[in-house]
Structure 1
Amino acid sequence: MLLQFSLILLGILLRVATYHFDLTSIYNQKFEYVTPFTSFDNLIEAVHLMSHGTSPYGGSHFHLPPIYLWLFRWVDQDSYSKWGLRIIFILIDLICSLLIFLIIKQTLLQQKNKRLKQKFERILPVAISSIYFLNPFTIVSCLVYCMGNFTRLYILLSIYFAMNANLVLSTFVLALAAYTEVTPALLIIPIILCCVKQRSQLFKAKLHFTKSTQIPSKKKNKNEEKQKQKQKQKEKEKEKEKEKREKNQTKQQQQKTKQKKSKIYLQWFFGLFLFFFWWGILLILSQLMFNSNFTNIKTLTKDPNFLQNFFSNNHYFTFLKHTYYFLLNITDLTPNIGLYWYLLTETFVVFRQFLVFTLQFINVVGLIPFTLRFHSYPLFLLAIITSSITILKAYPTLADFPFLFCLLVMQPKLLEKTRYRTFFIRGFQVVIGLLSPFYKIWIQDGTGNANYLFGISLSFSFAEILVLMEVIRSAMIVITNEKDKKKEKNSKPYYISTPNKKLNSKKDK
């Protein structure tokens, strides 16, 4: 606890020191951390436009949903509001690190392997949470007021509630993440899987507890049951009764399995319904705020022409064009760490929509094989899907990289047979170090061209894909080994008698 507390203090002091020396003006123009979607300056401009009565979506700068305008309408140039913002973003990073600590600790407690528990129970949660909290990329994202920190917080909260088998809160927080960005909606499948698995484990634990309390009553009746079984075996007439009982037991077991399947289907239906219900409520609230110009929603609801204003043609969910359509269609092609800006500038206009559709559809197609293979490991499946989403994101940042690392390391037993660890670490160091110099050579100095930045961003995304492939390979090896061990335990021993007889005959001779 002392080590964890000291690391938390160190992370807070580092963030306060960066704010004190006012390094936001240096890093606020860095393309590695600021994108058209995560920029806080664009949000301040939209709040300023809203205060003067003009639409915040009039230009092409602001692309967040309307609730964030209502949350940050108090932001001014005063020192109090600045320190309030800084405290909010420091708290977001702190909560994220604590959630990572709690999730990893819970996964280690659920593991049956004692060797892994003894190794990683004390070291791993503190190490990974400190890697996230003390990482320079997360510190710079906190310094720049990156709006992507909110989506990371929502994803981690949904995982934590899913690990505690709370389906309502996990779907609500995931709906908040899907409200800010569309792509986290794909995480609903692993979240529901995690909730179902945790509930089944809790049910098994309750059954085990009830059986353990009823042990002494069973011990008394053991001798009587043995005597009855002996009598039944001797008498041929009672064998028929046994067969009938066995048939009844099989029928009862089949009914129980059907009931379990029906309960699982109900949980799936209920989880999907809750997710889309929360998402719809958030969209309706944002529509109300957009119609009322973010002032008073109560006065708007008391108006007798409320439904006419809500479903008017002029203001019928027009913010969706500037938020979700902007993310999916990738209209802004400013240079960033991703690959879409270069590919879409080089392609012909005729093939642009086809390329955008294929690039966005890759994540949806990848859900099917991943869920079929890793459905018994929902937390690992969630890490794979989030990593594929971030790699193929239209506007990625460097702050997504430590978040992905923490998600992939949450289950250490699936990472026992990973290779080339030092190679990947050195490769990422070189690639990240060359991002800003190549951008400066092209944009500021004018001595290079776009291929410099595209080449280094391509190598960065290629390194991320290699890491993901290596992690999946090691997980598949570990899972197949576990299945083979289970088969060996369940299989009966097979003895061969003839070779032993031959050996004995030779010895006798």
Structure 2
Amino acid sequence: MTEEKQSAPRASEQTKPNIELAARREQGKLIKVLLAGSALRLIIMLLFPQFVEQHLAGRVELSTPVTSYKRLVEGLYLSSHGVSPFDGGVFHQSPLLLLLFKIPYYLPEIVTNLVFILADAAVALVLAKITGARHSLPQFSQRAGVPGEQAFACPPSVVAMLYLFNPLMIGTTVVKSTIVFSHLAVVLALYMGMHGKINASVGWAAVAAHLSLYPAMLVVPIALMAGKRQMLRSAVVQTVAKFAVAVLALHVAFTMAFGKQYFLATFDFTLRVADLQPNVGLFWYFFIEIFDEFRSFFFVVFQLTALAFAVPVSWRFRREPVFGAIMLVGVISALKAYPSWGDLALFLGLLPVYEELFKYLQYSFLFGNLLMYGIGLAPVFWHLWIEQGSGNANFFYAATLVYEFGQITMLFDFGSAMLRRELDISEPETRTHAVIQE
């Protein structure tokens, strides 16, 4: 008996160096992935500037009126000459970006390129840390699993690689779409919430809301994360109150600096969908065709369609608030007023955090093909419509409908996968049974 008791500690002592060695190797792989992804973006920006400027910078699939770098430069130019950037009707982005680029605006272009690249690499790093936290933090790693299931955790370096080498995200970064900074605020809010740093999480969520408005929905799953450490009702009330105070503080500060034009050019501009420039969303074509007397009604309907998902989705996945937040990121990507391919790239980058759901997917072939067709056809139909003149707006909108249907199918499939997995955990005897909901 004594020999067996002595051998157990020796075995555990031998495994510790192996675990530390594996962790160092994984950290080294992660650093290499971050450097490689950043180098690829810098090479494209430096060696192919004309290609980026002529063929990518103007793509409506990558840049929108609220994320365009050209419009940001216009805002910086007006601000540097003592004119309010919100008076010209061109700049519709958060004043936070004016503060961020106030100094790089006067420096060589490579400095601005590096700011975007570093922000994108930071997003990949935080995604990797979110994956690692989910498999290491007690509140996530000690939960029950499916009996007999072989555990597998997607390495953080692979998660970072899938995000950094996604062509949609590469294109978004090289055209310097400011959505990169919204992505960074979103993932930091989730990461801080997972670690119980609710004040920091709420702060980043407020920043994300000022950058892109729709991430305000994430306050609900963040409140549920806080509810795991204290009474749920008080946690929700306190979290929502803190978020409201943070958003209001930023709003008051920017209103004092820029006047009411700031609000009209940012939040009001997005809510009213004032610019009907084509994009990969559903709003622009519908509101071009709708009669003016019905426009206000459908503005409310379309915007509430996206915002209405915040509470029910978060509550249904309240046992996994991080997954609820990921689902809301997918809802935002599909239903926001000015979406781009960068929104989908963030959603795809977050999915490997729950790699155990992939084997439950039933429509992966369908939504994979829909997304590829939508992404592939959009530039073709745009060329036929705008450049050749042999098509019309229906061509491009058809491609966006295929793209949107692919996103919605993917959302439905991943939500169903999580529900099926929860059933397999709670009722293991039903694992081989088909579930029919009447």
Shorter chain as denominator, the TM-score bin is: 0.7 to 0.9
Does the CA-based 8 Å contact 2:209-2:216 persist in structure 1? yes
TM-score normalised over the length of structure 1 = 0.74
- The CA deviation string for residues 355-405 of structure 1, in whole angstroms up to 9 with x for no partner, is 111010112322343233211110111111121122011111111112111
- One-letter code aligned to 1:404: F
Residues 100-499 of structure 1 aligned to structure 2 (within 5 Å): 100-109=127-136, 110-111=140-141, 112=143, 113=145, 119-121=151-153, 123-197=154-228, 199=229, 263-290=231-258, 315=259, 317-485=260-428
- The CA deviation string for residues 145-198 of structure 1, in whole angstroms up to 9 with x for no partner, is 11111111001001110010011100001010111222111110101112332x
Match of residue 44 from structure 2: 18
- One-letter code aligned to 2:238: F
Distance in structure 2 (CA, Å) of the matches to 1:286 and 1:117: 52
Stretches of structure 1 lacking an aligned partner (at least 5 in a row) = 200-259, 291-314, 488-509
- One-letter code aligned to 1:272: V
Instruction: Go from structure 1 to structure 2 and tell me whether the alpha carbon gap of 1:116 and 1:333 turns closer, same or farther (over 3 Å shift).
Output: farther
Distance in structure 1 (CA, Å) of the matches to 2:151 and 2:35: 26
- The CA deviation string for residues 194-239 of structure 1, in whole angstroms up to 9 with x for no partner, is 2332x3xxxxxxxxxxxxxxxxxxxxxxxxxxxxxxxxxxxxxxxx
Distance in structure 2 (CA, Å) of the matches to 1:117 and 1:86: 45
Residues 41-120 of structure 1 aligned to structure 2 (within 5 Å): 41-76=70-105, 80-109=107-136, 110-111=140-141, 112=143, 113=145, 119-120=151-152
SS at match of 2:89: coil
Deviation at 1:11? Answer: 0.9
SS at match of 2:293: coil
Deviation at 1:413? Answer: 3.4
SS at match of 1:132: helix
Cα RMSD over matched residues?
2.2
SS at match of 1:180: helix
SS at match of 2:292: coil
Does the CA-based 8 Å contact 1:66-1:286 persist in structure 2? yes
Per mean C-alpha deviation after superposition, the further-off stretch among 413-422 and 19-28 is 413-422
Deviation at 1:53? Answer: 2.9
Per mean C-alpha deviation after superposition, the further-off stretch among 107-116 and 401-410 is 107-116
Distance in structure 2 (CA, Å) of the matches to 1:4 and 1:167: 27
Instruction: Go from structure 1 to structure 2 and tell me whether the alpha carbon gap of 1:439 and 1:62 turns closer, same or farther (over 3 Å shift).
Output: same
Distance in structure 2 (CA, Å) of the matches to 1:53 and 1:156: 34
Distance in structure 1 (CA, Å) of the matches to 2:412 and 2:129: 27
- One-letter code aligned to 2:379: S
Distance in structure 1 (CA, Å) of the matches to 2:225 and 2:326: 12
- One-letter code aligned to 1:336: N
Distance in structure 2 (CA, Å) of the matches to 1:289 and 1:355: 33
- The CA deviation string for residues 3-58 of structure 1, in whole angstroms up to 9 with x for no partner, is 33332222122112111111431311111111111001111112212222333122
TM-score normalised over the length of structure 2 = 0.85
Per mean C-alpha deviation after superposition, the further-off stretch among 266-275 and 438-447 is 266-275
Match of residue 7 from structure 2: none
Per mean C-alpha deviation after superposition, the further-off stretch among 395-404 and 108-117 is 108-117
Distance in structure 2 (CA, Å) of the matches to 1:5 and 1:46: 35
SS at match of 1:165: coil
Deviation at 1:426? Answer: 3.2
Look at both structures and tell me which one has the larger radius of gyration over its CA atoms: 1
1:37 matched to 2:66? The reply is yes
Distance in structure 2 (CA, Å) of the matches to 1:264 and 1:429: 41
SS at match of 1:454: helix
Does the CA-based 8 Å contact 1:66-1:289 persist in structure 2? no
Instruction: Go from structure 1 to structure 2 and tell me whether the alpha carbon gap of 1:114 and 1:348 turns closer, same or farther (over 3 Å shift).
Output: closer
Distance in structure 2 (CA, Å) of the matches to 1:277 and 1:441: 49
Stretches of structure 2 lacking an aligned partner (at least 5 in a row) = 1-25, 431-438
Distance in structure 2 (CA, Å) of the matches to 1:486 and 1:157: 39
Distance in structure 2 (CA, Å) of the matches to 1:141 and 1:371: 28
Distance in structure 2 (CA, Å) of the matches to 1:75 and 1:374: 42
Count of residues in correspondence between the two structures = 396
Per mean C-alpha deviation after superposition, the further-off stretch among 36-45 and 55-64 is 55-64
Match of residue 204 from structure 1: none
Instruction: Go from structure 1 to structure 2 and tell me whether the alpha carbon gap of 1:266 and 1:424 turns closer, same or farther (over 3 Å shift).
Output: closer
Match of residue 34 from structure 2: 8
